[in-house]
């Protein structure tokens, strides 16, 4: 009976299937166009071997976070003492020293998918770096958390009973402290902006405080930081306070998307703000007394750095108590270790960002046009063209590499190189050769960079590899015919409805 009610012709069936066929063809076409330029690089990388240098460096950095519960509990006494010592050393206003995690792995273990692949030359000394193309979103450049065989288990894929975690009074206290201090942080930032956000509007305000540019010099981008925590981080903590895995996972996403880069920008403005406040100390003190603020503007502007330092310390305490209590909930442990690793690496970048404004001629370079700042590393540099050797600090940005000479309290600008023009070679374990790439000639040597530690070179190369990966992704996507999937579906549905009912 139902068959008699349905009258479906081949024309109707073809019309209904046409949008879906179109979507499938577009997706196949896009996949082919994007993957085509990467196949040659991927085939080459499959034939390469993993450098023993990176294997040795990564093996020594692997810590007790990825061991079994039995091994971890045996080392609790020493690790917990280390946490308490670090806590006392870092509860200060500055973040000069980055706290190290007692139980989380700070770098990836040696594996073919994580290490920089090296292609050995015939002489056996130099290694030419082959950077595999990794299709990843261009806006993400985070240091990944890598897990060993013990952590990569099926236990992490399924939910665990978190009631055992909340049964521990110390862990519950740490969780409550994280959330409560976050709420206090948001309130303090809001109050500070109310007190000092409109100094330029006062009738007795000096000229150096008037105007949007001067206000930005004084306060930096603290409003952006407040918006991040007030609209995203604090609500995230409140809605997930009874689901720690979701809390840590969602929190880590903000680091993966580089949402916390606002702290890097804030640190770049730190010295200019401090100098302005020092010059106008008397007037600011009068304002502080007038509004009856006991702490003052200095305390207000140091809070973002204090808060960023406090995050990994609280997570270290959480991890330490987690092992000490003998709790078996690997999914939560994995998530908190991922988050703690990302926080420590962000702190490292924030520390290094303070040196960026001290570069001579940095204003002429248009800092905003260089992309995100990624890393600053100290080297002993030898410049081949000038035949000069000096202490150098090399800055990595998304768009370029900037080399500076260290001269007491300032950094003298020397050279800037686009990533597309560079070729890097690893010489031994502590030396890197930077050469300019030419289409019709051999690469021209520019710099010989030598570090004191092999681990410094490893971290520097890993960061450079990621930057070059993203540059290749962007280059491969330029000029490609790309349509959002939801737009294609909506257009297809509209065409079908118009064809059949109008």
Tens of pLDDT along 33-87? Answer: 555 444 443 433 333 333 333 334 444 444 433 444 444 443 444 444 443 434 3
CA-closest candidate to residue 132, choices 48, 52, 57: 48
Among candidate residues 353, 384, 406, the one where a domain is terminated:
353
Q: What is the pTM of this model?
A: 0.69
Q: Are residues 429 and 298 in the same domain?
A: no
Separation CA 425–CA 130 (nearest Å): 10
Q: Would you say residue 115 lies in a domain?
A: no
Residues 135 and 188 occupy one common structural domain: no
Judge if 386 and 296 occupy the same domain: no
User: Rounded to 5, what percent of the chain is helix, strand, coil?
Assistant: 55, 15, 30
Give dist(CA 339, CA 318) in Å, integer.
12
What CATH number did the domain enclosing 127 receive? Answer: 2.30.29.30
Model confidence over 232-273: pLDDT tens digits? 999 999 999 888 999 999 999 999 999 999 999 999 999 999
Residue that is last in its domain, among 296, 325, 353: 353
- Asked if the model's pLDDT at residue 22 lies above 50, the reply is yes
Look at residue 494 in the predicted model and tell me its pLDDT. Answer: 77
Considering the domain architecture, whether residues 190 and 328 belong to the same structural domain is answered as yes
- Average the pLDDT over each of 8-17, 73-82, 197-206, 387-396 and give the range with the smallest value: 73-82
If asked whether residues 132 and 223 sit together in one domain, one would say no
- Same-domain pairing of 339 and 191: yes
Domain CATH number, residue 317 = 1.20.900.10
The verdict on residue 298 lying in a domain is yes
Give domain status of residue 224, yes or no. yes
Whether 49 and 131 map to the same domain: the answer is: yes
Q: How many domains does the chain have?
A: 2
Task: Please give the average per-residue pLDDT across 306-325, as a whole number.
Answer: 91
Q: What's the 3-state SS for 96-163? A: CCCCCCCCCCCCCCCCCCCCCEEEECCCCCEEEEECCCCCCCCCCCCCCCCCCCCCCCHHHHCCCCCH
Helix/strand/coil for 379: strand
The pLDDT value given to residue 184: 95
Phi and psi of 58, rounded to 5°? -70, -30
96 inside domain? no
Greatest mean pLDDT among 228-237, 432-441, 460-469? 228-237
Q: Are residues 306 and 215 in the same domain?
A: yes
* Same domain? 44 vs 183: no
Residue 107 lies in a domain: no
Q: Does the residue 106 lie in any domain?
A: no
Q: Give me the pLDDT at residue 145, please.
A: 41
Q: Are residues 292 and 379 in the same domain?
A: no
pLDDT of 106 reads 37
Domain assignment present for 163 = no
Residue 406 lies in a domain: yes
Statement to judge: residues 326 and 211 lie in one domain: yes
Q: How confident is the model at residue 127 (pLDDT cuts 50, 70, 90)?
A: very low
Q: Are residues 380 and 456 in the same domain?
A: yes
**Which H/E stretch holds residue 389?**
strand 388-397
Domain assignment of residue 502, given as a range:
1-64+121-141+372-502
Q: Is 116 within 8 Å of 123 (Cβ atoms)?
A: no
């Amino acid at each position: 009976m139902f068959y008699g009610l349905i009258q479906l012709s081949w024309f109707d069936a073809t019309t209904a299937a046409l949008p879906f066929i179109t979507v499938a063809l577009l997706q196949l076409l896009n996949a082919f166009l994007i993957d085509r330029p990467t196949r040659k690089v991927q085939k080459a990388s499959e034939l390469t071997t993993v450098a023993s240098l990176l294997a040795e460096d990564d093996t020594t950095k692997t810590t007790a976070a990825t061991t079994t519960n039995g091994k971890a509990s045996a080392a609790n006494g020493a690790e917990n003492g280390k946490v308490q010592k670090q806590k006392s050393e870092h509860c200060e206003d500055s973040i000069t020293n980055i706290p190290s995690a007692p139980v989380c792995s700070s770098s990836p273990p040696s594996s073919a998918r994580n290490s920089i692949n090296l292609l050995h030359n015939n002489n056996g000394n130099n290694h030419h770096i082959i950077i595999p193309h990794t299709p990843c979103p261009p806006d993400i450049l985070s240091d990944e958390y890598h897990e060993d065989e013990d952590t990569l288990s099926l236990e992490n894929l399924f939910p665990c009973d978190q009631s055992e975690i909340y049964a521990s009074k110390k862990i519950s206290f740490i969780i409550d402290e994280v959330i409560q201090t976050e709420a206090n942080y948001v309130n303090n930032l809001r109050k500070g902006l109310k007190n000092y956000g409109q100094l330029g509007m006062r009738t007795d305000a000096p000229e150096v405080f008037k105007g949007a540019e001067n206000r930005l010099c004084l306060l930096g981008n603290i409003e952006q930081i407040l918006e991040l925590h007030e609209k995203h981080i604090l609500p995230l903590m409140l809605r997930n306070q009874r689901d720690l895995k979701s809390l840590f996972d969602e929190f880590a996403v903000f680091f993966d998307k580089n949402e916390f880069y606002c702290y890097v920008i804030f640190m770049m403005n730190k010295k200019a703000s401090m100098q302005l406040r020092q010059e106008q100390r008397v007037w600011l003190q009068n304002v502080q007394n007038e509004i009856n603020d006991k702490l003052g503007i200095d305390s207000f502007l140091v809070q973002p750095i204090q808060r960023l330092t406090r995050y990994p310390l609280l997570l270290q305490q959480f991890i330490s108590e987690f092992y000490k209590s003998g709790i078996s909930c690997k999914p939560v442990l994995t998530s908190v270790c991922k988050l703690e690793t990302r926080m420590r690496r962000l702190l490292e970048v924030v520390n290094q960002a303070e040196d960026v404004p001290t570069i001579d001629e940095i204003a002429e370079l248009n800092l905003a046009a260089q992309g995100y700042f990624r890393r600053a590393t100290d080297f002993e540099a030898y410049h081949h063209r000038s035949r000069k050797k000096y202490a150098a600090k090399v800055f990595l940005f998304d768009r370029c590499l900037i080399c500076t000479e260290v001269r007491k309290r300032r950094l003298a600008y020397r050279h800037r190189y686009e990533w597309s023009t560079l070729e890097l070679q690893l010489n031994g374990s502590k030396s890197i050769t930077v050469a300019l790439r030419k289409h019709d000639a051999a690469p021209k040597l520019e710099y010989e960079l030598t570090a004191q530690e092999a681990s410094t070179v490893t971290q520097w190369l890993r960061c450079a590899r990621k930057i070059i990966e993203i540059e290749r992704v962007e280059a491969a996507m330029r000029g490609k015919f790309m349509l959002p999937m939801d737009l294609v579906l909506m257009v297809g549905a509209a065409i079908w409805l118009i064809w059949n009912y109008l």
